[in-house]
A and B are shown apart, each in its own frame.
Chain A
């Protein structure tokens, strides 16, 4: 790590970033958007969230050379990296950001021009497109010193990160989690623990820091508490009317994904939770007229979050739960500082995408009951095969068992070339018609 870069990074962190962000805020003309009559008052926390994420990406520009940098997948056990002080970048979060700003097709095309197939996950194509062209809405992403992926979400990440490792000639750590067909065995756990153990010397070498067990345990606890708090944030939506919507949660998910294990994430969720509880006390709903409560399956359609949010609110329908947002709250209770690596292996191998469809069905049934769900919207995402497989069976089974109506939307998380406004409108309207008694 270079000393000048270190000084520059610290300067930006303590003085530069707050100043620049202060200017940006002051300089920004307050755009007054007409309040939408279908919504309750907006969440106050939204501004704080924006600040946190802007700062995270802003500072990342100065991290290169000052701090070791890791690019990490959303399901990787990042707690292991934190004691070494890695600046972590989440290409999937960056991909979602690009998707929300409608940059998906542009960045995907760059990757496609280099021979990457259109059927490849668009997060991977965006990331590779960004890597090849330098294009990004966040200014610049720092070059990584190491890549850290877990195939507990899909196999794609393993090959995608391999491409990056090959191009950048940097080490790549893959945390290989056996798929949970029926149960995770002791052998599986041993296999995963030994991988984590083998990673430690490599992380020491890349970061130039010794592993500190005490710090590691603190980080685990911090991560666990943040995930718990995130779980409580989601659970506020059990209240009728729900104080937030899943569309809010899609956005407020960013810290638990990409800042997990850092104090800022826990702080943020505590503030958010306080605000939501206060809304509950005062009977404030996210939408004004919550007539129906819905569940979302799969990752968000990032370029449609705002449109969908408006459309459903107009119909008095509120999304109150999702398998997706739940993923970062579901398995964290396994985290145990007495058996750190073993408990991490459990936490990360039992996530929804590494788990069989029966588990998913059970989870959905539970969410439907706990959150009093009237209907289900299923996003069949062209990008995400592991999330989209089995959805028609789940749909049929949930209809048969609980009589919950559902609709499937064929789309993609960021690549809107795979989205048809016309077809989606017809499906959603038919779904609305069916929901009216």
Chain B
């Protein structure tokens, strides 16, 4: 028999990731695409892309776990697990000293306390509000006419920082417009926006407490400006994987393997 493979698919509000693992837990391939309007299509497409890259055929994939807010509707998944468990496991797998995961995704952000083996001990999520999420930064990038990827490097070049007083995305948006109209340098405004996100996430970090090493996951972890501010506040460096978005899908794929082994010992 060919050796089995396992897949995790993480359907988030902005992006969808698929990850394929072999029996040694080594990633064979992964894909990241925009979710768009239809989460089922996005799940299939990302999974197919990952398959195509890996050269693994669909029937070699013995177990699939879906996660992310779109997990419920994925027809080809064998099991559905929340992104909280998947991020904890994924982060623990990449950085075994992880005790705390900060995940800032497109639609929500969460802080997870991780125990032995990547088990979730405690977690908190933001309330029904875009403040402190990737969406907040996306809206602001649009207003400032910069790309999301540029925000981090731009903010690092800022000489100063403009303080953003609104937490609300809608209010902050108009605040940004007037700050730009007052000729405040863009990079200082961006730094202020990053600070606003970090302040929002900080209250969640405090409510869970910092335990062990901190790993950051989710799209916003790619933003060096936000990461820098969190590190500054924590007073220590944090782990960031070069592709922080795939951590959820990785955790899902690891669970898929576990699921498979449990079913066929």
Residues on A lying within 8 angstroms of B by beta carbon are 380, 392-393, 395-396, 399-400, 405-408, 410, 418, 420, 422-423, 426-427, 429-430, 433-434
Contacts of A422 in B (CB 8 A): 69
B177, CB-defined interface residue at 8 Å: no
Considering the chains assembled together, what is the distance between the CA atoms of A418 and B129 in angstroms? 11
Known: A395-B207, A396-B208, A426-B69. A410 touches B120 (CB 8 A): no
Contacts of B128 in A (CB 8 A): 410, 418, 420, 423
**Which one of B82-90, B166-174, B215-223 is at the A interface?**
B82-90
Considering the chains assembled together, what is the distance between the CA atoms of A420 and B120 in angstroms? 23
Determine the residue in chain A with the shortest Cβ distance to B120: A434
Q: Is the interface of B mostly helix, strand, loop or mixed?
A: mixed
For chain B, the count of residues having a C-beta within 8 Å of the partner chain is 20
- Whole-angstrom distance from the CB of B261 to the nearest CB of chain A? 17
Known: A410-B128, A422-B69, A423-B128. A399 touches B122 (CB 8 A): yes
Known: A406-B122, A426-B125, A434-B85. 13 other contacts (CB 8 A): A380-B127, A395-B207, A396-B209, A407-B123, A408-B125, A410-B127, A418-B128, A427-B125, A429-B81, A430-B82, A433-B82, A434-B84, A434-B122
Whether A392 and B122, one on each chain, are in contact in the complex, defined by CB atoms closer than 8 angstroms, is no
Contacts of B108 in A (CB 8 A): 423
28 contacts between A and B (CB under 8 A): A392-B124, A395-B122, A395-B124, A396-B208, A399-B121, A400-B209, A405-B122, A408-B124, A420-B128, A423-B125, A423-B128, A426-B69, A426-B83, A426-B84, A427-B125, A429-B82, A430-B82, A430-B84, A430-B120, A433-B82, A433-B84, A433-B120, A434-B84, A434-B85, A434-B119, A434-B120, A434-B121, A434-B122
The total of interchain contacts (Cβ-Cβ below 8 angstroms) comes to 54
Considering the chains assembled together, what is the distance between the CA atoms of A423 and B124 in angstroms? 12
- Whole-angstrom distance from the CB of B245 to the nearest CB of chain A? 18
Residues on B lying within 8 angstroms of A by beta carbon are 69, 81-85, 108, 113, 119-125, 127-128, 207-209
Considering the chains assembled together, what is the distance between the CA atoms of A392 and B84 in angstroms? 18
Considering the chains assembled together, what is the distance between the CA atoms of A427 and B122 in angstroms? 11
Contacts of A418 in B (CB 8 A): 128
Determine the residue in chain A with the shortest Cβ distance to B119: A434
Determine the residue in chain B with the shortest Cβ distance to A399: B122
Considering the chains assembled together, what is the distance between the CA atoms of A161 and B206 in angstroms? 38
Q: Is the interface of A mostly helix, strand, loop or mixed?
A: helix
Considering the chains assembled together, what is the distance between the CA atoms of A408 and B208 in angstroms? 12
- Whole-angstrom distance from the CB of B8 to the nearest CB of chain A? 15
Contacts of B125 in A (CB 8 A): 408, 423, 426-427
Contacts of A395 in B (CB 8 A): 122, 124, 207
Whether B122 and A430, one on each chain, are in contact in the complex, defined by CB atoms closer than 8 angstroms, is no
Contacts of A393 in B (CB 8 A): 207
Contacts of B209 in A (CB 8 A): 396, 400
Considering the chains assembled together, what is the distance between the CA atoms of A427 and B85 in angstroms? 11
- Whole-angstrom distance from the CB of B117 to the nearest CB of chain A? 11
5 smallest beta-carbon distances between A and B, as pairs: A430-B84, A392-B207, A430-B82, A434-B120, A433-B85
